[in-house]
Amino acid sequence: MSGRLWGSRFSGRLDERIDRLSRSLPFDRRLFEQDIDGSAAWARALRRIGVLTAGELKAVLAGLEKVRGEFRQNRFRARATDEDIHTAVERRLTDLVGAPGRKLHTGRSRNDQVACDLHLWLKQEAARAAKHLSELAASLLDLAKRSIDVVLPAYTHLQRAQPVLAAHHLLAYVEMLARDRKRFVHAHAGADVLPLGCGAATGVAFPIDRTALARELGFKRVARNSMDAVGSRDAALEFLAACSICGVHMSRLGEEIVLWASSEFGFLRLDDRVATGSSLMPQKRNPDGAELARGKAGRLLGHFVALAATLKGLPLAYNKDLQEDKEACFDAADTLDGVSAALRATLERSGFDTARCAQALRGGHLLATELADYLVRKRVPFRRAHEIVGGLVAAADKRSVDVTELPLEVLREAAPEFEPDVRKALTIAAALGARKAVGGTAPGRVRRELQAWRRRLASWGESPI
């Protein structure tokens, strides 16, 4: 087979400028495994309805495996007429086995073929992304366990707010990653539908057992509408949405690392193996991995927006615009993989500077809320307690001291409910220990959460997506 799959009714060669824009083999050759798997399953389906003889099926399957080997060993040689991975595989197969290869496309269109290949790939990549998120969550849990006694300021509006266990802070990102993992599980389910056997737009004209075909390829469901199957890319969009949201979460984690590792904060010490230097300034230690985690989020968001914009104006069924799905998905998967790995390395080779964290707890009136809570326990309405403590904070600022350093007589002038036992409430340990409710940063609560997450991560590893 020397020409294009569609060239029989055309005269003359395709203009090189159109050909160059249309060719997708340079990037969709990545789908060779999926294309060969789908082609082998289709060949067996054709054998079941008598299109292929037993001997022809054997030749086709052997030929497909030889083509697979050529791709795996990087020995495949493309021709100018190999527009895409589907054309390339079928052309090479026919070169190898002759006439039986020319029968393989019976009842099949590149429209349902590419959708099938993409769905197989999306399932694989969604499962891989979920696995990598489990590994990143495990790295966070390990750092949290190593830092179980570290206390640092929690921030709102990037202003010091209240004391928090570093482990509790890290567990917030574990929660985010758990939700991200659910999104990839959902993306996997969205792709777990067989498009093959839907033809170009209106279905297949041969009695193909699509349920058997789905079972052979590992799909749970069969697409019920041929036009939707070949003309929609919801599965790709859901995958990109999962990548985008996960990228946002990783970006936020990266930003925390950048801040914590800065000289201004100094909470986190980065190992030399996860920091870089400056070509000019010898003293620099740059958290490049974390910065790139932050920067790559825009790339991931861009892929989602680009594909959504491509899809929004398309009539059914297939349009060449849909070729834009693959580069977006491929790059998103690679980007997320790289970011996840870099963050794991950074977390595994970092540790908190406990002295610097403790120093940061000594400013910013971090225990002001404890004063208000103390008054509430003395039956002062919270809004009134808030006003009283706000005045005390202003008084402390005038004296250039922390609110906890005000003498008892000053506290009592503001509210007679203050008693000498107020000093017991004005400690970091008391502030942490008071937050025992589910979701709080009390040490006992955080230790239980760590144990619960260890069990949950173990269950993720035991059960497939």
Least confident of 1-10, 55-64, 124-133, 323-332: 1-10
Residue 22: its pLDDT value, please?
A: 81
Percent of the chain with pLDDT over 90: 92
Taking the C-alpha atoms of residue 22 and residue 321, their distance in angstroms, rounded to an integer, is 10
CA distance readout (Å), 108 to 50, 154, 284 = 15, 59, 59
Distances, alpha carbon 269 to alpha carbons 147, 353, 390, in Å? 13, 6, 35
- Which residue pairs from 262-269 have beta carbons closer than 8 angstroms and sit at least 24 positions apart in sequence? 265/356, 265/360, 266/353, 266/356, 267/152, 267/166, 267/352, 267/353, 267/356, 267/357, 267/360, 268/350, 268/351, 268/352, 268/353, 269/350, 269/351, 269/352, 269/353
- Residue 1 is predicted with a pLDDT of 36
pLDDT of residue 5: 61
Residues 75-83, mean pLDDT to the nearest whole number: 92
Look up residue 101 and give its amino acid. G
pLDDT digits (tens, 9 = 90+) for 162-187: 999 999 999 999 999 999 999 999 99
Exposed (0-12), middle (13-18) or buried (19+): which is 119, by Cβ within 10 Å?
buried
Nearest partner of 240 among 177, 322, 327, 135, judged by Cα: 327
Gyration radius (Cα) of the chain, Å: 30
Query: What is the distance between the alpha carbons of residues 31 and 424, in angstroms, rounded to a whole number?
Result: 65
**Cα–Cα distance, 275 to 268 (Å, whole number):** 12
Residue 294 near residue 223 (C-beta atoms within 8 A):
no
Note the pLDDT tens digit of each residue in 389-404: 999 999 999 999 999 9
Mean pLDDT of 9-21: 77
How does residue 231 score in pLDDT terms, banded at 50, 70 and 90? very high
Active site residues: 157, 278
Which residue, 307, 322, 314, is CA-closest to 112? 322
For residues 384 and 371, the answer to whether their CB atoms sit within 8 Å is no
Q: In the predicted model, what is the mean pLDDT of residues 437-458? A: 97
Inform me whether the pLDDT recorded for 38 exceeds 60: yes
Q: What is the mean pLDDT of the chain?
A: 95
CA max distance for the chain? 100
Structure confidence by residue, pLDDT tens digits, 256-303: 999 999 999 999 999 999 999 988 998 889 999 999 999 999 999 999
Query: What is the token pair recorded at 60?
Result: 């086709």
Give the contacts of 364 (CB within 8 A, at least 6 positions apart).
Answer: 153, 159, 160, 402
| pLDDT higher than threshold 60 for residue 361 | yes
- pLDDT tens, position by position, 216-228: 999 999 999 999 9
The answer to whether 357 and 152 are in contact (CB under 8 A) is yes
Residue type, 415: A
pLDDT per position as a tens digit, 43-78: 999 999 999 999 999 999 999 999 999 999 999 999
- Nearest one of 461, 462, 463 to 133, comparing CA atoms: 461
Domains of the chain in start order, with CATH, are 10-106 (1.10.275.10), 111-144+157-204+217-360 (1.20.200.10), 368-462 (1.10.40.30)
Q: Which two tokens stand for residue 224?
A: 């019920």
Tokens 């590792």 belong to: 261
Distance CA 252, CA 26 (A): 34
Do 153 and 162 contact (CB within 8 A), yes or no? yes
pLDDT in tens, 108-121: 999 999 999 999 99
More confident call, 353 vs 80: 353
**159-168 residue pLDDT tens:** 999 999 999 9
For 81, phi and psi rounded to 5 degrees?
-85, -5
Collapsing DSSP states into helix, strand and coil, what is residue 286? Answer: strand
